[in-house]
Structure formats: structure tokens, C-alpha cells
Amino acid sequence: MKLPRWSPRRGNYANITSTAALVIALGAGGAYAANTISSADIIDGEVKTADLGDGSVVTAKLSPSARSTVYTTSHADYLTIGSPPGSSVLSLTVPAAGSYLVTAKAVTASQTLSTNLQAYCTLVAGAHEDVVAATAPASGSAIAIPAIPISAQIVHKFTAGETVDLKCSSGNSTQIGLIRITALRVAAFVTYPG
């Protein structure tokens, strides 16, 4: 029996299949490599929200320092504010170190219709503080006791376990209630001279 002679123009099934597989493998690998982006390829500000697919970046993919965390505490009942220098009416211990935006809010109220409303409060964390004052004359009316909402905010870089306080004082026993302190962890904050 005479075997057919091999000819480069004649392909058989194995040659064609292996060549096709090689072309596909090399072509796909090249396409994959061309579409891969590494950290070195990204320059600050190049990747915008529109460049990301919906749901492609989730909280679990962010570093812990890039995640927001909120800590809050509140006290609804009214307290009588003492004389200066003032004492803490509400405190919040921030368990995790980091940069935070801290806000506080409350409602101050006169105890009687004939008493002026005077409240002086300071939101304090470390060396950072925000001072607010609420004053109003006595209403002299049987309709309404003076009440004024107050709010304060600071930015502060906390160490773990550090406390933020809302300290208040009054010269005439004003009351304060509906108090809330909220600390929102942020990636960073920049303070500009003002």
C-alpha cells in the first residue's frame, strides 16, 4: 500500500483545528491584555463616575479609610442649663480614629413666660470648637414660651475613643432639649484660612 505524500497545500483536520485554536488563543490573549488597566495607567482625576459601570464599585472594594461611618447620640428630654462656665449636656465617644464632620443641634427654651432666654453652647472636640448663642426676651404672653433652635459644627481628626461634647451655660436657668450630636467619618478634610 502506497501512503499519500504529505503536501503543505493539503491540510488535514488536526492541522486546521490546532492552527485555529492557536489563532483564537493568541488573539483573545492580546485583546485581554490590551483592555487591562493597571494602577500605573491611571492619572489623578482621569476616572470619572460616567466611566464606571453601574454597581462596579461597591463598599467592600473601598479601603476602610475611604468608607463613611456615622456615629450619633441624642437626648430628647429638656435639661436645665447651669451657670457659666458650662457643663456637658451631651457627649459622643467616637470609637474609630479618623477625620470627622461633627454636627450638634438642640432647642433652647425659657423656663417661664417672664424669663429671658439665654443659652451659650460650645461644641468641643480636642482643640476644635464652635460657639453658638441663643437669646430672646421674655414673651410676657400667655401664648408662647420663647424657644430657639441652635446648631454647631466642627471638623476634627479623632484618635480612637476620643469624645466630642456639647457644653452649655446660661445666666438664668434656660432649658435645652431635643439634643443630637452626629459624627460623620470622611476620607479627609482641608481647612482653608479664612
Q: Three-state SS for 41? A: helix
* Domains of the chain, earliest start first: 67-186 (2.60.120.40)
Q: Do residues 99 and 155 touch, judged by C-beta distance below 8 A?
A: yes
Q: Do residues 181 and 104 touch, judged by C-beta distance below 8 A?
A: yes
Task: Work out whether the CA dihedral 5, 9, 12, 16 comes out positive or negative.
Answer: positive
Q: Per residue in 75-94, pLDDT tens?
A: 999 999 988 878 899 999 99
d(CA 136, CA 8): 103
Arithmetic mean of pLDDT, 101-115:
88
Q: Three-state SS for 115? A: coil
Q: Per residue in 124-143, pLDDT tens?
A: 999 999 999 998 887 766 56
Q: What is the pLDDT confidence band of residue 4, given thresholds at 50, 70 and 90?
A: low
Phi, psi of 27 (to 5 degrees): -65, -45
- Give me the DSSP letters along 132-154: EEEEE----SSS---EEEEEEEE
Q: What percent of the chain has pLDDT over 70?
A: 75
Number of Cβ atoms within 10 Å of the Cβ of 73 = 14
Q: Per residue in 23-79, pLDDT tens?
A: 666 665 555 555 667 767 777 767 776 767 776 777 777 776 677 889 999 999 999
